Structure formats: C-alpha cells, structure tokens
Structure 1
Amino acid sequence: MKAIWSGFSTYALVGLANTLLHWQIFFVLRVAIGLDQSTSNLAAFCVAASFSYYLNALYTFEAKHSVTGYVVFLCVMGVLSYAVGYLGDRWRLHGLLTVAVFSLLSLVFGFLLSRFVVFRGHRP
C-alpha cells in the first residue's frame, strides 16, 4: 500500500499551488465575469492543470513531457471538473463548496491517474 502513495507528498505540494491558482481563476470568472460554475471550474482547471502537469512531470515523477499524457490527464480530469461545476450549478451550491469538493476529488483521483496512467513506469 505504501508503494501506491509514493510521491504523494510532492504531488500534494504541487497541488497546493495548483489549488490556489485554480480558485483564483474560478472566482474571477464566476464573480467578476459572471460565468456559471461549470464553465468557470473547467476553465480554471485547464489553466491550473497545465501548470501542475509540467511541475509534476519535472519534480514528482521525473518524466519527460508527453503530449498524449497531457491530453489524457486534461480530458479525464476536465470531465470531472465540469461535472462537479455542473452539479454545483444544478444544486445551487456556493462556489467555495464547488471548488473545495473538486480540489479534494482532484487531489486523490489526479494523483492516481498520474501515477498509474499518465506517468506509468516513472519514478514517483
């Protein structure tokens, strides 16, 4: 079990920076521009994910950047991002709750996707 979570602390540190970036963009798009939560969450995710993909490839998994890996990560996690935002809109959740829920889901599912699919075979 310990081997599965190897590299998680570095991933979580990058995730903290990613989360701050994501939340700032989400709230600018949601509050200042007036977009819905699903669109705001997806757009914020795409920017923050690009940032964190590069850092995780470089520091967490010590892997070369792969366009295929980047697209797989962006698509899978982008669907999750949009779905959480959609549910936030549909259930009329506060935006803070929407991004908090997505951030927690993203931390776990993003790590597992990165570890076992996107950067498979690389050192965590």
Structure 2
Amino acid sequence: MYMIRANLLISLVMLKLISRYAGIGVINTAIHWTVFALILKLFESGQAMANFGAFCVAVTFSFFARLCPLIT
C-alpha cells in the first residue's frame, strides 16, 4: 500500500517537473522567434547576427526561469 502511494507521489512530482520544463521551453522558443524577427526587421541585421542575439536573450530567460519558482 505504501509502495503504491510512494510511486504515485514520485510520478506526480516527475509530471510537474516535466510540465514545467516543457512550459519554459515553449515560452523560450516564442521569445527566440520574436526577438529574431525584431532584430532581423528593425536593425536590418543578417540572419546569423539576429539568430545569435535572439539565442542570447532566450537562453538568459531560460536560465532565470529555471531559478525562479514563480514562473510556470
């Protein structure tokens, strides 16, 4: 009986962690696409520079989102 409850608890914790990770990933991808498009159009930059700038912004968000328990 206790083993079933322990397994259920572990499953729920893992589901929460995976859903948080996936949620941050979706938001991170949206940020990357948005910043990429803005840099490409507003600054008339090349694709490589726009992608690098968008990557830097998105990875910074991802880092802080995983540290902060309030996000997702």
With structure 2 as the length reference, what TM-score do the two structures score? 0.62
Residue matched to 1:90: none
Larger C-alpha radius of gyration, 1 or 2? 2
What CA deviation, in whole Å up to 9, does each residue of 1:55-86 have, x standing for no partner? Answer: 11334xxxxxxxxxxxxxxxxxxxxxxxxxxx
| Equivalent residue number for residue 29 of structure 1 | 39
Q: Deviations over 1:24-67 (max 9, x none)?
A: 110011123221111111111111111111111334xxxxxxxx
Match of 2:22 in 1: 12
**How many pairs align?**
54
- Identity over aligned pairs, percent: 33
CA-based RMSD of the aligned residues comes to 1.6
Which residue number in structure 2 is paired with residue 45 of structure 1?
A: 55
Higher helix share: 2
CA distance in 2, matches of 1:8, 1:38: 31
Q: TM-score scaled by structure 1?
A: 0.39
Residues of 2 paired with 1:30 and 1:43: CA distance?
Answer: 10
Partners of 1:46 and 1:27 lie apart in 2 by: 14
Query: 2: CA distance between counterparts of 1:27 and 1:46?
Result: 14
SS at match of 1:34: coil
Unaligned runs of 5+ in 2: 1-13
Select between 45-54 and 30-39 the one with higher mean Cα deviation.
Answer: 30-39
